[in-house]
Amino acid sequence: MAGRLRDSAERHFQKTLSLMQKGRSKEALKELGKAEETAKRAKANDILLNAQALKGHIMQTVGAYEEALKIHVLSLKAAEELLSKDPDNKHYQSSLQMNIDAIGTLGNLFYNTGHFLQAKSCCELCLSIFQKLLQTDPENVTYQSGVGMTLNNLGALLKNMGRIEEAKQRYEKALEMYEKLLQTDPENVTYQSYVGGILNNLGNLLKNMGRIEEARQRYEKALEIFKGSMQYLTIGTKSKSIISIVELTSELTRKGNQYDQMKCLKEAIELCKKYQDFFIKYELKHERELVMGIGLSAYIDFLLKNIRAESDSGKRADEYEKAIKAIEKLKLVGEDEAISKLQYFTNWIRKSSSFIPISKYFSVKCLKS
């Protein structure tokens, strides 16, 4: 009897999958209800768990996120209870992970649609499950990674909710978890990428808090991680770290006294030079152009500050020439930025016309259409 009921539940389940492939969601849900009912009568827990998870997935695909979350939470609790009685059951383990992933996906969907409280609930639920699992198996790297990733996501969410100090705490805990994982496996590019990514997140948060030096330290620490062979994940994370620290340094050129500004301009220029080969090697054209634009812009600002301070007309003429050539290069990277620099430069020349013949510089074709 139980065998026939199980076979019937399996047929209903397979028919549900077929209806889903045809886009007939309403009919699929009805058929799935039959699969659930029959699986309960057959005490076929594996089919029942699959049916519940699939039902949550269907509700998600039709945009009923709240209902999908309720279903996945119920399925998650059922899988937990079954696992407590049979900890080595691979199917129950798989079902638990499947529901955690589904809740994580719903958290992202809530986050992307601006439903931050629901997204926070999803993150906190996933975190509590991973923490429980980690208590049962403290050395399990999958559970450790799950805790770290969820803490990072929770940090990003809290940041967008304006709960900055809580976000910082979550990021720091996530970093601690992934740094431990990286210590056990220093060549693991996934761990390298996650550590670098969380350091970038912390750096961005600290920068927004006005804690500039701490932000710089996080970006620099992220760059220290990527010293070996690079792969897709680490290339992308290193690229973000470079851009973040270059942008941070460039922003500092507009603050402080003249000496501090000149110091930051020099540093921005050197950073851009330092990492040009990295962008060229990995064919990161857009990122290279962005950094090159920042570097050239800083260089032009540096030259203009030198012009202000230079009393020798001959040396001042040389500085003008350098600035014009830099603007020509900047034109190749970003026309809007080049135009802005040229306008600023032209105004400066007009003010300084007693030193340099203006006609000498308007022959430059840096904005040729």
For the chain, domain boundaries: 1-115
* Dihedral (Cα; 127, 132, 135, 140), 10-degree rounding: -60
Q: What is the pLDDT of residue 131?
A: 95
Question: Tokens in use for 308?
Answer: 């202000």
Identify the segments of the chain with pLDDT beneath 70. 1, 227-229, 256-259, 261-262, 265, 296, 299, 323, 326-369
**What CATH number does the domain located at 1-115 have?**
1.25.40.10
Contact between 137 and 144 under an 8 Å Cβ cutoff? The reply is no
Q: What is the pLDDT of residue 327?
A: 61
Sign, CA dihedral 295-301-305-311, equals positive
Which amino acid makes up residue 263?
Answer: K
Q: What is the pLDDT of residue 328?
A: 66
Q: pLDDT per residue over 140-162, tens digit each?
A: 999 999 999 999 999 999 999 99
Q: What is the pLDDT of residue 359?
A: 36
Q: What is the pLDDT of residue 211?
A: 93
Q: What is the pLDDT of residue 135?
A: 93
Q: How far apart are CA 244 and CA 256, in angstroms?
A: 20
Q: What is the pLDDT of residue 339?
A: 44
State the chain's mean pLDDT as an integer: 83
Percent of the chain with pLDDT over 70: 82
Q: What is the pLDDT of residue 258?
A: 63
| Reported pTM | 0.76
Burial profile 34-62: b = 16 or more Cβ within 10 angstroms, e = fewer: bbbbbbeebebbbbbbbbbbbbbbbbbee
Question: Tokens in use for 192?
Answer: 């390298």
Which amino acid makes up residue 328?
Answer: E
Integer angstrom CA distances of residue 17 from 6, 54, 61, 72, 205: 17, 9, 14, 18, 44
Torsion-angle region of 63 (φ positive above 0: left; ψ -120 to 50: alpha; else: beta)? left
| Length of the chain as a residue count | 369
Q: Burial, 93: exposed, middle or buried (Cβ in 10 Å; 0-12, 13-18, 19+)? A: middle
Q: How far apart are CA 151 and CA 155, in angstroms?
A: 6
